[in-house]
């Protein structure tokens, strides 16, 4: 990790830069080509990309009922129980986000209300590869089911033998998701955007991925399909004071660094001793990780920053707007009150970010790359649309109508005014 001691506020923006994403123009051009190819050749293009990129020969893109049914036997009972408990916690937290339909009379005879309606067709993208994220399927599938989305399509890349990770299949079956497509990368996003013979087109796409998937989601948004949020490599910022446990902090930093070589971790501390102890712990714990090479690459673009006060740490963090924020400090509740920009916040010494990644109940699909300044993480609201309704009685229109006429005339919109006037004339007969 890069160690920086007492930087001035003028130096902060440079320290808050995320790792540069190389070849962005090349990636965008490649993704556009894939979208055009999938639109023209459909399933044939998806099978070709599966062969070229995943090394899999696919005769059928959809997971069969037999494959789905067989998955449970391949998942250990202990893991099944853990997935069940995580699902229960996630469901409990997201079910509590349901709002009651509130009807309000804004003026006598003028009734307005808003109703939550599920997005009709959603696509869930779940990465495979070296770290198949079945936990992300829980985070997306549970609120999609709670919202009542009628069509849920899951895309995930196949292994070389054409199979899908059995834990992903088991989790999908647990959630009642049976439209599962063996497709990964930008080609999966392209298929969800325009549809193919095997892949239903969707209205909104959710899920993380590499820079090709991120670019594909952005292109999907340009072509009329909503996305959950702009998302890039995972990141965490930890604030630690003298009360923190260096081993805990190091483990939290490494838990994000092992996501990928382009992940970023940031340590802020007011203690020179903590800075030294945590960085030493990071080096020691790194050697014990199966994914130490990946984590080591991430650490090269990560920073440990010594600041003077908790207030400085808070200002730095709010400017950085981390995806995950851990407050490993004595006064976590007090400091948390000042947080304005973060995806999800973890308070105290016994609240690891990993708990939120898996099973505490909050959602781990969160804004990265500074988007926490303007975006929320995925919630039940992400899977619904809010439609407003209104009804006006005769008495209500007689009272409100003249106001609307005056406002419309002032804007030069005579037809708007006339739509009210013609009704008022009818009522006066």
Q: Which residues are catalytic?
A: 323-324
Please indicate if the annotation marks 364 as binding a ligand. no
Token pair listed for 164? 């899908």
Nearest 5°: the CA angle 91, 92, 95 is 75
Please indicate if the annotation marks 256 as binding a ligand. yes
Please indicate if the annotation marks 210 as binding a ligand. yes
C-alpha 259/C-alpha 251 separation (Å) is 13
Q: How far is CA 30 from CA 205, 249, 374, 419, in A?
A: 20, 39, 29, 51
Handedness of CA 109, 112, 113, 118 (dihedral sign): positive
Please indicate if the annotation marks 88 as binding a ligand. no
Please indicate if the annotation marks 163 as binding a ligand. no
Q: Collect contacts of 67-75 with beta carbons under 8 A, ≥24 apart.
A: 67/163, 67/164, 67/169, 68/169, 68/172, 68/173, 68/178, 68/180, 69/173, 70/166, 71/166, 71/167, 71/169, 71/170, 71/173, 72/170, 72/173, 74/166, 74/170, 75/166, 75/167, 75/170
C-alpha 265/C-alpha 282 separation (Å) is 11
Token pair listed for 4? 């920086």
Q: Pairing mode, if any, of strands 204-206 and 121-125?
A: parallel
Contact 102, 184 (CB under 8 A): no
Q: Pairing mode, if any, of strands 235-240 and 226-227?
A: unpaired
Please indicate if the annotation marks 222 as binding a ligand. no
Binding-site residues for NAD(+), please? 125, 187, 210
Binding-site residues for substrate, please? 234, 256, 259, 324, 357, 411, 416
Binding-site residues, please? 125, 187, 210, 234, 256, 259, 324, 357, 411, 416
């Amino acid at each position: 990790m890069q160690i920086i001691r007492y930087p001035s506020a003028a130096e902060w923006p440079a320290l808050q830069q995320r790792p540069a994403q190389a070849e962005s123009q090349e990636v965008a051009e490649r993704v556009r080509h894939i979208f055009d190819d999938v639109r023209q050749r459909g399933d044939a293009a998806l099978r070709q990309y599966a062969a070229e990129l995943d090394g899999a020969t696919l005769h059928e893109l959809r997971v069969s009922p037999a494959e789905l049914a067989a998955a449970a036997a391949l998942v250990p009972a202990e893991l099944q129980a853990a997935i069940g408990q995580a699902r229960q916690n996630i469901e409990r937290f997201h079910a509590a986000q349901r709002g009651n339909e509130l009807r309000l009379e804004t003026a006598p005879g003028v009734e307005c209300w808003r109703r939550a309606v599920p997005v009709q067709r959603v696509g869930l993208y779940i990465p495979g590869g070296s770290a198949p994220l079945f936990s992300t399927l829980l985070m997306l599938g549970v609120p999609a089911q709670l919202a009542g989305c009628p069509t849920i399509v899951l895309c995930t890349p196949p292994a070389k033998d054409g199979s899908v990770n059995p834990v992903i299949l088991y989790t999908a079956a647990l959630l009642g998701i049976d439209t599962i497509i063996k497709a990964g990368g930008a080609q999966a996003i392209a298929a969800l955007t325009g549809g193919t013979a095997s892949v239903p087109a969707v209205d909104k796409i959710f899920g993380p991925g590499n820079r090709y998937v991120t670019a594909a989601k952005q292109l999907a948004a340009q072509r009329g399909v909503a996305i959950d949020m702009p998302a890039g490599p995972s990141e965490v910022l930890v604030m630690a004071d003298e009360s923190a446990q260096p081993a805990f902090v190091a483990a939290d930093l490494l838990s994000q660094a092992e996501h990928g070589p382009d992940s970023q971790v940031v340590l802020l501390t007011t203690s020179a001793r903590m800075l030294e102890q945590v960085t030493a712990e990071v080096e020691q714990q790194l050697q014990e990780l199966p994914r130490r090479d990946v984590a080591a690459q991430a650490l090269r673009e990560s920073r440990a920053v010594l600041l003077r006060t908790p207030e400085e740490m808070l200002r730095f963090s709010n400017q950085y707007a981390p995806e995950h924020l851990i407050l490993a400090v004595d006064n976590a509740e007090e400091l948390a009150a000042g947080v304005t920009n973060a995806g999800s916040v973890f308070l105290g010494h016994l609240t690891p970010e990993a708990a939120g990644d898996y099973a505490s109940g909050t959602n781990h699909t969160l804004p990265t790359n500074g988007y926490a300044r303007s975006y929320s993480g995925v919630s039940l609201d992400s899977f619904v649309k809010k439609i407003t309704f209104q009804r006006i009685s005769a008495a209500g229109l007689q009272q409100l109508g003249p106001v609307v006429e005056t406002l419309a005339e002032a804007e030069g919109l005579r037809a708007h005014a006339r739509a009210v006037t013609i009704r008022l004339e009818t009522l006066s007969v």
